[in-house]
């Protein structure tokens, strides 16, 4: 059981709650903190002092004071006017992770929201009531204003929910569940839509996928080296202990394990080749650098998911600080770095695929013995080249840009929402790149029989051959490639 507002949220726990594998609830301590903070907001909202977002307008209208009678309407107007997102809806799981992260932040007792609102969001999470959220429209500064507005409009009976794969009005779903639309009070609309939960949810989902793909990158590299009959010596521990980056050490260790007891590796230890191309022998340095970037992004994301990122922050009955905890820059920059790290895994994978086609060291050109009549595996590498280039264009850092909004009140923005979306696009592309490299590697390994490989590589080879047979004569490869992509997407490969 996960206690919102009290326990530490992690990538794995957020995903587990979203999948229904872990239950989240409010503890007595969290409920007490929420009540106490709400009491402070009630005192502030009935006072004469102007406090941003509680008894004033928003953005450039912060100099317009609002009467106590108008505060509820002010907060509801906020959600409705800020729900201006466009584009395709985000994945349903992302909507759920956004709600999980928002509940955890609100439950810490600095946001001034009533318990009823938090409990309604928890009901949505538990009952898989997932709001429809457009993917575009956030600049990642005052938080993810547009997507969070869409996420929480259903609290008011507005907006839309998913019903299986159909989009239906929220008011219809609320009726089915016998729920009455809620009315907002002072500060609550602002607490709901100020925050970085759109950026954060994309980071969480991407990190979970990247964790697997980093290990799959090592497997793909090892299988390519086996097919190429490359050397295992660049992965010796002594070499990496004198340049001991954490990621590099881990990758080198993985490679040693992947080659353990390989007859194929042992069969050419005394060959005349001096060294392999960089995409083979520099795997620990390249994959390791990407792994180091992953650790950095994971560290920042886990700080963010346990932080309070709305505005203003309620510290006492007299002090509500209008600060900048909603600004997405800490994650935006790291997500851009993450995209670069993922893209590099694709770059080096494409190079290894190319090497397997060259017809060197006992392999036939294009991995086919019937070259001429057959084109073999010539063309799938065009696909990896296209995907690698697409990733390069996606690596332009969104966080390097800023466009003033809100009549200059929000004069520096993070563009972190764009960074987070691009991060996941690059991840989707390298799934396809690895699928093709693994298909190539299995074909190359077939030419190394009767030599055997390590136990783990043999297991993965069998997984491939169960779904994609060895290419003898030309055939339509689209189905083979799609089968490989599904294996990668469904995480069917045995990785460390």
Q: Are 328 and 140 in contact (CB under 8 A)?
A: yes
CA distance 145 to 127: 25
Residue listed under structure tokens 């080296």: 225
Q: What is the pLDDT of residues 367-397, one digit of tens each?
A: 999 889 999 999 999 999 999 999 999 999 9
Q: Are residues 191 and 275 in the same domain?
A: no
Q: What is the pLDDT of residues 408-449, one digit of tens each?
A: 778 899 999 999 999 999 999 999 999 999 999 999 999 999
Which CATH number do you get for residue 47? 1.10.275.10
Range of the domain at 462: 202-489
Q: Are residues 130 and 15 in the same domain?
A: yes
pLDDT band of residue 48 (cuts 50, 70, 90) is confident
Q: Are residues 188 and 206 in the same domain?
A: no
CA distance 156 to 324: 27
Tell me if 50 is assigned to some domain.
yes
Q: Are residues 254 and 385 in the same domain?
A: yes
Q: Any idea which of 140-154, 183-197, 261-275, 296-310 has the lowest mean pLDDT?
A: 261-275
Residue 163 above 70 pLDDT? yes
Q: Are residues 359 and 231 in the same domain?
A: yes
Q: Which of 4, 35, 52, 337 is catalytic?
A: 52
How is residue 359 annotated by DSSP?
Answer: -
Contacts with 409 (C-beta within 8 Å, 6 or more apart), sequence order = 59, 60, 62
Residue 143 above 90 pLDDT? no
Instruction: Identify which of 271, 276, 270 has the alpha carbon closest to the alpha carbon of residue 222.
Output: 276
Q: Between 482 and 142, whose confidence is greater?
A: 482
Residue 463 above 80 pLDDT? yes
Instruction: Please tell me the predicted confidence (pLDDT) of residue 136.
Output: 97
Alpha helices in 1-138 (DSSP H): 11-19, 28-45, 71-82, 92-106, 115-126
Tell me if 48 is assigned to some domain.
yes
Instruction: Please tell me the predicted confidence (pLDDT) of residue 49.
Output: 77
Q: Are residues 99 and 129 in the same domain?
A: yes
Q: Are 493 and 435 in contact (CB under 8 A)?
A: no
Tell me if 120 is assigned to some domain.
yes
Handedness of CA 325, 96, 488, 135 (dihedral sign): negative
How many other C-beta atoms are found inside a 10 Å radius of the C-beta of residue 25? Answer: 11
Q: What is the pLDDT of residues 241-290, one digit of tens each?
A: 999 999 999 999 999 999 999 999 999 887 778 799 999 999 999 999 99
Tell me if 104 is assigned to some domain.
yes
Q: Are 256 and 211 in contact (CB under 8 A)?
A: no
pLDDT band of residue 62 (cuts 50, 70, 90) is low
pLDDT band of residue 61 (cuts 50, 70, 90) is low
How many other C-beta atoms are found inside a 10 Å radius of the C-beta of residue 70? Answer: 13
Q: Are residues 126 and 189 in the same domain?
A: yes
Contacts with 454 (C-beta within 8 Å, 6 or more apart), sequence order = 257, 258, 259, 260, 261, 262
Tell me if 156 is assigned to some domain.
yes
Contacts with 488 (C-beta within 8 Å, 6 or more apart), sequence order = 216, 431, 432, 434, 435, 438
Q: Are residues 253 and 124 in the same domain?
A: no
Q: Are residues 176 and 215 in the same domain?
A: no
Instruction: Please tell me the predicted confidence (pLDDT) of residue 272.
Output: 74
Q: Are residues 317 and 438 in the same domain?
A: yes
Q: Are residues 80 and 150 in the same domain?
A: yes
Among residues 174, 195, 216, the one where a domain terminates is 195
Tell me if 446 is assigned to some domain.
yes
Which CATH number do you get for residue 480? 1.20.200.10
Instruction: Please tell me the predicted confidence (pLDDT) of residue 59.
Output: 63
Among residues 148, 169, 195, the one where a domain terminates is 195
For residue 340, the SS3 value is helix
Tell me if 223 is assigned to some domain.
yes
245 is catalytic: no
With residues binned 3-state (H G I as helix, E B as strand, rest as coil), the percentages for the chain, rounded to 5, are: 60, 5, 35
Instruction: Please tell me the predicted confidence (pLDDT) of residue 53.
Output: 67
Q: Are residues 173 and 242 in the same domain?
A: no
How many other C-beta atoms are found inside a 10 Å radius of the C-beta of residue 19? Answer: 10
pLDDT band of residue 157 (cuts 50, 70, 90) is very high
Q: What is the mean pLDDT of the chain?
A: 94
Handedness of CA 92, 97, 100, 106 (dihedral sign): negative
Among residues 195, 212, 239, the one where a domain terminates is 195
Instruction: Please tell me the predicted confidence (pLDDT) of residue 407.
Output: 74
How many domains are there within the chain? 2
Tell me if 85 is assigned to some domain.
yes
């Amino acid at each position: 059981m996960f206690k919102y507002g009290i326990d530490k949220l992690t990538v794995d726990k957020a995903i587990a709650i979203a999948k229904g594998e872990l239950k989240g609830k409010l503890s007595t301590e969290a409920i007490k903190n929420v009540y106490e903070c709400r009491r402070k907001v009630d005192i502030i909202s009935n006072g004469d002092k102007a406090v941003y977002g509680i008894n004033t307008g928003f953005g450039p209208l912060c100099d317009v004071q609002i009467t106590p009678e108008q505060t509820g309407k002010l907060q509801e107007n906020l959600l409705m006017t800020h729900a201006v997102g466009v584009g395709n809806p985000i994945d349903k799981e992302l909507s759920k992770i956004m709600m999980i992260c928002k509940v955890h932040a609100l439950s810490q007792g600095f946001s001034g929201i009533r318990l009823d609102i938090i409990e309604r969001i928890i009901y949505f999470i538990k009952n898989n009531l997932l709001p429809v959220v457009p993917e575009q429209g956030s600049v990642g500064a005052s938080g993810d204003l547009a997507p969070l507005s869409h996420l929480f409009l259903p609290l008011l009976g507005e907006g839309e929910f998913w019903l299986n794969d159909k989009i239906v009005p929220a008011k219809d779903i609320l009726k089915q569940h016998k729920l009455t639309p809620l009315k907002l009070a002072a500060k609550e609309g602002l607490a709901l839509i100020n925050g970085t939960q759109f950026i954060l949810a994309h980071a969480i989902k991407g990190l979970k996928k990247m964790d697997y793909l980093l290990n799959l990158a090592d497997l793909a590299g090892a299988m390519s080296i086996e097919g190429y009959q490359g050397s295992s010596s660049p992965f010796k521990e002594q070499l990496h202990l004198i340049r001991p980056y954490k990621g590099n050490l881990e990758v080198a260790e993985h490679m040693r394990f992947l080659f353990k007891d390989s007859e194929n590796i042992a069969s050419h230890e005394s060959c005349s080749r001096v060294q392999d191309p960089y995409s083979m022998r520099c795997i620990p340095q390249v994959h390791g650098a990407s792994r180091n970037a992953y650790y950095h992004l994971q560290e920042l994301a886990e700080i963010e998911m346990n932080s309070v990122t709305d505005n203003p922050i309620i510290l006492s009955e007299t002090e509500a600080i209008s600060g900048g905890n909603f600004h997405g820059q800490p994650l935006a920059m790291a997500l851009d770095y993450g995209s670069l790290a993922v893209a590099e895994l694709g770059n080096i994978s494409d190079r290894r695929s190319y090497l397997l086609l060259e017809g060197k060291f006992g392999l036939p050109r294009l991995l086919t013995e019937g070259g001429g009549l057959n084109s073999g595996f010539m063309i799938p590498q065009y696909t990896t080249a296209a995907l690698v280039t697409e990733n390069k264009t996606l690596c332009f850092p969104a966080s390097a840009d800023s466009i003033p909004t809100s009549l200059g009140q929000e004069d520096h923005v993070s563009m972190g929402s764009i960074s987070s979306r691009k991060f996941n696009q690059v991840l989707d592309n390298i799934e396809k790149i690895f699928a093709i490299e693994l298909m190539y590697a299995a074909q190359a390994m077939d030419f190394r029989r009767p030599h055997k490989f390590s136990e783990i590589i043999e297991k993965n080879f069998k997984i491939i051959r169960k779904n994609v047979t060895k290419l003898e004569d030309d055939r339509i490869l689209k189905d083979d490639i799609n089968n490989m992509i599904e294996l990668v997407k469904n995480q069917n490969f045995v990785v460390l």
